Amino acid sequence: MTEQQHDERSRIREAMDRLLAGKATISNGSLTAAALAAEAGVHRMALYKRHADLKNEFEERVRTEAKQVPETEKRLRKTVTTLKKTVSNQRAEIEDLRQQVTLLALASAVLTQQRGTPPVPDPADVPNNVIPFRPPTS
């Protein structure tokens, strides 16, 4: 580990302690990874990429020490709830469409049955380019 990474890690740990104590000096004091990076003076992507273990440690400390759910988990839970509702609505819509298809098929069968066999057109009335489905019975 380089000296720069060691310095970053110590600044991140100090920033964790300040945020959890409610004594933020640079950031807005929210208990998020972005606020932690700002408080530590570290680029946010460096926190996510090089120091992911410290970010996870911070989120775990937020959960245990501050008795709060991390912002990322809140957003994920909200997204999951929205997606579950969407799936439920789509299932209900699919079931409704299936019932409509069944009813339309039954209605089509009834209409076909009531109609009986269609009358055979007079060959003189049929244009030359039309081929009947059923040959005329004579």
Torsion of CA 87, 88, 94, 97, to 10 degrees: -140
What is the pLDDT, as a whole number, of residue 10? 92
Residues 45 and 99 in one domain: no
79-129 pLDDT, tens digit each: 999 999 999 999 999 999 999 999 999 988 888 877 765 666 666 666 677
Residues 80 and 40 in one domain: no
Q: Is the pLDDT of residue 37 over 60?
A: yes
Q: Is the pLDDT of residue 40 over 90?
A: yes
- Cα–Cα distances (Å) from 135 to 125, 126, 129, in that order, read 15, 12, 15
Residues 62 and 12 in one domain: yes
Residues 86 and 108 in one domain: yes
What is the number of helices (H) and of strands (E) in the chain? 5, 0
Mean pLDDT (whole number) for 64-93: 90
Residues 57 and 30 in one domain: yes
Is residue 68 within 8 A of residue 22, CB to CB? The reply is no
Mean pLDDT of the chain: 85
Instruction: Report the percentage of the chain scoring pLDDT > 70.
Output: 83
